[in-house]
Amino acid sequence: MKPGRVYLDNNATTPVDPRVLEEMLPFFNERFGNAASRNHAFGWEADEAVQHAREQVAELIGASPKEIIFTSGATEANNLAIKGIVDLSGEESKHVISCQTEHKAVLDPLHQLEIAGVQVTYLPVDQDGLIDLAELEKKITNQTVLISLMYANNETGVIQPIKEIAALANKYNVPFMSDATQAVGKIPLDVDELGIDLMSFSAHKMYGPKGVGALFVKKGVKISSQIDGGGHERGMRSGTLNVPGIVGFGKACELCQQQMSDDEKRLKKLRDQLEQQLLQLSGTHGNGHNEQRLSHVSNLSFEGLDGEKLLLSLNEIAVSQGSACTSATVEPSHVLRGMGVSDELAFASLRFGLGRFTTKEEIDFAIEKIRSSVIELRT
């Protein structure tokens, strides 16, 4: 039976798992208390739920609950981490190291810091999307106050050598921050074992609700708050906590921990099927390291095609040409350009993000639809 609309844009956002929604619902009306209300049972109940969620989130990444700061999402967490570290640095001349292929939620805060006089080095990547560790070490100076490199790329799924990066940062006593929005809940990771000092992630990328995320702040690492007004989250992030969202976030983390391995194996099989079939089309290329990447992500370029026309022809399939945060622009993907992909090919590229609810029937349908569209547009 032909599927209806097929959703293959899970890197942009994921549907809320029904089990997550079920956990959240009572906190909208029956258990609606403010977690900061310390004088009655409604507040105590909400605070207890938040602390339980904090434990669930922390357990997923190998952290202590006290190291989890709830935010409105990964973008806020990135701003808090990057600006919070730079603000507290005692260096007169401040220097940050990042990468050309970071998400805009990191690049834009860094651009704002540059306007304020902070020096930022943007490391290049090779054709596989990976940084050069030797180049990173060469760029570290006495003024370097932060290294910020994403865990897994949102457009290609390429996973950076995080443990080695953290070791270099530790060698020079520089805090290491990673935007792990695409990685958390998809692959096993332990912040303590890896040596990460700060890490951002978001619920809506892992079958939780939108509008809630977290920043991991390693014990002993100091950051300056960016939002004032009540001293919530141990003074690092003021504002009334989104209790239903946080409860959902916690449940999403619990579910990811339980079924991550099974999800990863199943989605890799479906992703590989999709790639193998589409790469048989002449002039089709894969973007990103073939092995060192997330199992559910594929980025393919189709020679000789107008990417916009290809997208329009796939009206029953939800895919993207890059980050959801930059989909309104007409510029080619900065990630693909950074990997040396030509503008022409970058414009003719599609990102596929499979997810927990993706079925084999949907992949079979997508393969046939994309194949026929490519052939038709090339004739």
Q: What are the extents of the domains in the chain?
A: 6-15+260-378, 18-255
pLDDT of residue 343: 93
Q: Among residues 208, 202, 149, which one has the least CA distance to residue 174?
A: 149
The CATH class of 6-15+260-378 is: alpha beta
Q: What does DSSP assign to residue 346?
A: H
Average pLDDT rounded to a whole number, residues 162-167: 98
Q: Is the pLDDT of residue 122 over 90?
A: yes
Decide if 256 is catalytic: no
Average pLDDT rounded to a whole number, residues 122-145: 98
Rounded to an integer, what distance in angstroms lies between the CA atom of residue 19 and that of residue 24? 9
Q: Which residue of the set 99, 253, 256, 325 is catalytic?
A: 325
Confidence band for 300, pLDDT divided at 50, 70 and 90: very high
CATH topology of domain 18-255: Aspartate Aminotransferase; domain 2 (3.40.640)
Q: Is the pLDDT of residue 294 over 70?
A: yes
| CB 85 within 8 Å of CB 223 | yes
Average pLDDT rounded to a whole number, residues 309-330: 78
pLDDT of residue 234: 86
Please give the model's pTM, rounded to 2 decimal places. Answer: 0.95
Confidence band for 330, pLDDT divided at 50, 70 and 90: low
More confident site: 89 or 55:
55
Average pLDDT rounded to a whole number, residues 34-40: 88
Q: Is the pLDDT of residue 324 over 60?
A: no
| CB 161 within 8 Å of CB 147 | no
200-210: pLDDT as tens digits = 999 999 999 99
Average pLDDT rounded to a whole number, residues 334-350: 95
90-121: pLDDT as tens digits = 778 899 999 999 999 999 999 999 999 999 99
- The answer to whether 6-15+260-378 and 18-255 have equal CATH topology is no
Q: How far apart are the first and last CA of the chain?
A: 29
- State both tokens at 255: 């579910």
Confidence band for 217, pLDDT divided at 50, 70 and 90: very high
Confidence band for 323, pLDDT divided at 50, 70 and 90: low
pLDDT of residue 376: 94
254-263: pLDDT as tens digits = 999 999 999 9
Rounded to an integer, what distance in angstroms lies between the CA atom of residue 184 and that of residue 189? 7
> Worst-scoring range by mean pLDDT, 30-34, 55-59, 155-159, 296-300?
30-34
Please, what is the average pLDDT of the chain? 95
Confidence band for 230, pLDDT divided at 50, 70 and 90: confident
Q: Is the pLDDT of residue 362 over 80?
A: yes
Q: Is the pLDDT of residue 372 over 80?
A: yes
Rounded to an integer, what distance in angstroms lies between the CA atom of residue 73 and that of residue 200? 8
